[in-house]
A and B are shown apart, each in its own frame.
Chain A
Amino acid sequence: QKEVEQDPGPLSVPEGAIVSLNCTYSNSAFQYFMWYRQYSRKGPELLMYTYSSGNKEDGRFTAQVDKSSKYISLFIRDSQPSDSATYLCAMSSYSGGYQKVTFGTGTKLQVIP
């Protein structure tokens, strides 16, 4: 079983829709939870990071963490064609005294005008 599970999609939605992206995890040691956006042929770009359970909002993006269920989500409101990208969840824990980051496989999102 992978430490981090993420549905690869692809997910196709019309412009203006609310998008929900999700990841589950099995390692209780994960402390920080992040979402990265990756455009084609580019490196991942940090979108959101959270530490505790609950919601964190930044513009059209809301990150949600439920540590009891080992489940995290990213919501995108009023989705735009420019949001079309692959979204990677990432989680970090301390291993051997250093922080280790584990990524999901990524969900490919397409927003259709």
Chain B
Amino acid sequence: DAGVTQSPTHLIKTRGQQVTLRCSPKSGHDTVSWYQQALGQGPQFIFQYYEEEERQRGNFPDRFSGHQFPNYSSELNVNALLLGDSALYLCASSFEGTTNEKLFFGSGTQLSVL
């Protein structure tokens, strides 16, 4: 049973560029959440996708956008990259039907903005 997979594992971009990160949820999961984890910090919630729609959003600017596909996989897009966007981006999947939506994380994409 494949867990949550993310690609790419590492990425280097320059300021002002755009980036797309990808996530495939754990088998049987239908909900995908994205988190940003800066060095030495806990994960910060970006947004959550369910049934191909964004249904929750954290305190992140519109430069951060996403998409969920019919097979439940998801993309995170960040436009006009800033140095402060350098972080580990984590994808977490869960199943909507459970009382407590336990989050299962991928290994993340390490984004460096130069």
Q: Which residues of A contact B (CB under 8 A)?
A: 4, 6, 8, 32, 34, 36, 41-46, 49, 51, 88, 90, 92, 95-96, 98-106
B40 — which chain A residues lie within 8 A by C-beta?
A: 8, 105-106
A49 — which chain B residues lie within 8 A by C-beta?
A: 100, 102
- Distance in Å from the Cβ of B40 to the closest Cβ of chain A? 7
Does the CB pair A99–B100 fall under 8 Å? Answer: yes
- Distance in Å from the Cβ of B14 to the closest Cβ of chain A? 23
A34 — which chain B residues lie within 8 A by C-beta?
A: 102
Q: Whose C-beta in chain B lies nearest to the C-beta of A104?
A: B42
Does the CB pair A103–B55 fall under 8 Å? Answer: no
Does the CB pair A41–B100 fall under 8 Å? Answer: no
Taking A49-B100, A92-B101, A99-B100 as known contacts, 10 extra A-B pairs with beta carbons closer than 8 A to each other, sorted by chain A number, are A6-B42, A43-B90, A43-B105, A90-B103, A92-B100, A98-B55, A99-B101, A101-B33, A103-B42, A103-B43
How far does the alpha carbon of A51 sit from the alpha carbon of B43 in the complex, in Å? Answer: 21
How many of B's residues come within 8 Å of A, CB to CB?
A: 25
Interface residues of B in 87-114 (CB under 8 A from A): 90, 92, 100-108, 110
- Distance in Å from the Cβ of A50 to the closest Cβ of chain B? 10
- Distance in Å from the Cβ of A69 to the closest Cβ of chain B? 21
Contact of A105 with B103 at beta-carbon distance under 8 Å, contacts A43-B108, A98-B55 already known: no
Contact of A42 with B107 at beta-carbon distance under 8 Å, contacts A32-B100, A88-B43, A100-B45 already known: yes
Q: Which residues of B contact A (CB under 8 A)?
A: 4, 6, 33, 35, 40-45, 48, 55-56, 90, 92, 100-108, 110
How far does the alpha carbon of A68 sit from the alpha carbon of B18 in the complex, in Å? Answer: 46
How far does the alpha carbon of A32 sit from the alpha carbon of B101 in the complex, in Å? Answer: 10
Contact of A46 with B104 at beta-carbon distance under 8 Å, contacts A8-B40, A105-B40 already known: yes
10 shortest interchain CB distances as A-B pairs: A43-B105, A103-B42, A105-B42, A43-B107, A32-B100, A44-B105, A103-B43, A99-B101, A43-B106, A43-B108
- Distance in Å from the Cβ of B38 to the closest Cβ of chain A? 10
Does the CB pair A43–B4 fall under 8 Å? Answer: yes
Q: Can you identify 26 A-B contacts, CB atoms within 8 angstroms?
A: A4-B42, A42-B108, A43-B6, A43-B90, A43-B105, A43-B106, A43-B107, A43-B108, A44-B43, A44-B103, A44-B105, A45-B105, A46-B104, A49-B100, A49-B102, A88-B42, A90-B42, A92-B100, A95-B56, A98-B55, A101-B103, A102-B45, A103-B35, A103-B42, A105-B41, A106-B42
